[in-house]
Structure formats: structure tokens, C-alpha cells
Amino acid sequence: MIKKCLFPAAGYGTRFLPATKAIPKEMLPILTKPLMQYGVEEAYEAGIGTMAIVTGRGKRAIEDHFDVSYELEHQIRGGAKEVLLDEIRSLISRCTFSYTRQVEMKGLGHAILTGETLIGHEPFAVILADDLCDNEGDEGGVLSQMVALYERYGCSIVAIEEVSKEETNKYGIIAGDEIEPGVFRISHMVEKPDPKEAPSNLAIIGRYILTPDIFDILRETKPGKGGEIQITDALLTQAQNSKVLGVRFKGKRFDCGSVEGFVKATNYFYQKQASSDEVR
Ligand code: G1P
């Protein structure tokens, strides 16, 4: 039912300067795989085959990554290194990638609205690639869990996670009633509130399923926190008009938009790879 996933990827990644001066932050690797590829794999695992990417100036490397590199592939054909391209080749052959550019940086809500041209009038998923998620059990990835919930409720859904009170000013924060274990019907949400004003410590992480009426709401949404058009504000309007759910997902999330989260993710995936190499 959800066929497309939108990836807002136009941001400058200033927290990773100078690394992001010429390389998009979405292309920074955890071990040998760029953040963006982890996101595309998660969407594909959730049954989504069309990746709609909102890029900006200086983001050409993303398009090149999800394309064939003839010279390179010719060079390594038949050699031991060829297997290193297996995963990305298989993704490219199974998915479709489309792109549009966000010309001005006016916030996440504006980036999502820019993607309307790629999405059209259908429900869709959103992945912020710098929130890197991994699941260890058999629940499937975060987006798979959300797609399963969408099939039951048919409304917009955000993934949520508990954070410490001091960290509420880094996230969209929700409040609502728990209608089944781990699922909240949202009554209030605020973008990056001061800890003193936060309605709870349930933070939105970078995974959304949105119904297409969100585009009309975004068109009417006034700039909010930081003078930017916030998806959190548009979702609050949607929650008041109809229904929006928050789901506490099963799995791990790393904030790879921060150096600390990036290093933690690197260590986690390195350990994970080392223990699976041991098993082999
Ligand atoms: C964005 C959203 C915020 C959300 C966060 C998740 O903020 O505006 O509501 O909690 O992503 O990562 P950003 O991190 O882009 O500033």
C-alpha cells in the first residue's frame, strides 16, 4: 500500500564540516556503507520500491551512488572485490530512484512539500537518513513496523522514542493517549520545546508515514521554530482535524547527525559485523 519513500537530503550537514564541504552528509559511511544506503535498504525491506529524493546543490554524489559506475565495475570485474558491490547493485536493479531539488532551505516541512511532485496523491513514507535504525529481533525494520500499523489504521504515523528531559529541545515532542501498547493517538506536538515546556519526553525520530492531505496542510503552515516550515506543526493540524499516531518502535536508533551518535553507530555496526564474522 505504501509504494514510495521520500528522503529529504538537501541539508548542509554543517555539524560535520569540513567533511561535508564537498560530500553530502547522507553519503558519510558507517563502516563501508553510506547512511543513505542504509535508509534505502530499510525502505526496500518495508516493501517500498520507489525512492523519491529531495536533493540540493552539491548532492550529485547521491545520484551517482544509486547508478552504475561502468569504469569501476569494468576494472574490478571477476576480482575478489567485486562482491563488495553486490548489495548496491541489487538495490539499484530492484528500486527506482527519482530526484527533485530544493532550491531554498526553508525547513523539513518545506523539503517534504518540495517532494510532492515525486509523490503525487498517495500515502508515503519519509526517512531522514541521519537517523540510522537497526533491528535485532524478528519485527523487521522500523519502517516495516510502521507500514504494518498503517495497514490497520490508514492515517499518518510518526516513530517515537523516549529521550531524557534535557534533550527535548532537539526533537519534535508528542503527547497523547496510549490506545494500544506502544501506540499513541497524538493530541499535541511541539517542535524542539524547552525542557520546561515539553509536554512529555516522547521524541519523534526521523521516520514518518504521511497521508497526502499533508501537502495541502503544509502549504498553509506558517514558519515556526527557527523561522522554518515544520512538519511537526503540519502534523499537529492533521492530528486536530483527523488522526495521527505515534509508535514506539522496536530497535535501535543512532543520531548520526551528531558526531557522538555517528561514532556510537560506527562502534555498534563494527561489533555486529565482527560477531557475525566470528560465527562464519
Ligand atoms: C527533525 C524534525 C524533528 C524530529 C527530528 C528527528 O529535526 O524537525 O521534529 O524530531 O528531525 O531526527 P532535525 O533533526 O532535522 O533538526
Given a contact cutoff of 8 angstroms between Cβ atoms, the answer to whether 39 and 53 are in contact is no
| Cα separation, 63 vs 66, whole angstroms | 5
* Packing angle of the helix pair 231-241, 213-220 (nearest 10 deg): 120
**Domain range holding 247?**
4-279
- 171, 191, 230, 253, best to mutate for ligand 1 pocket (most atoms within 8 Å of CB): 171
C-alpha cell at 35: 547512511
> Ligand 1 atom closest to Cα of 131?
12
Per residue in 83-113, pLDDT (tens digit) is 888 889 899 999 999 999 999 889 999 999 9
Number of domains in the chain: 1
Q: Is 209 in the pocket of ligand 1 (CB under 6 A)?
A: no
- 35, 108, 229, 256, best to mutate for ligand 1 pocket (most atoms within 8 Å of CB): 108
Q: Is 176 in the pocket of ligand 1 (CB under 6 A)?
A: no
> Ligand 1 atom closest to Cα of 11?
15
Tell the residue number behind the cell numbers 501498547, with chain if given. Answer: 181
Per residue in 139-182, pLDDT (tens digit) is 799 999 999 999 999 999 999 999 999 999 999 999 999 999 99
User: DSSP states of 156-192 as a string?
Assistant: EEEEEEE--GGGGGGSEEEEEEEEETTEEEEEEEEES
CATH code, domain with 81: 3.90.550.10
Residue 81's pLDDT is 84
Residue nearest to atom 10 of ligand 1 (CA): 171
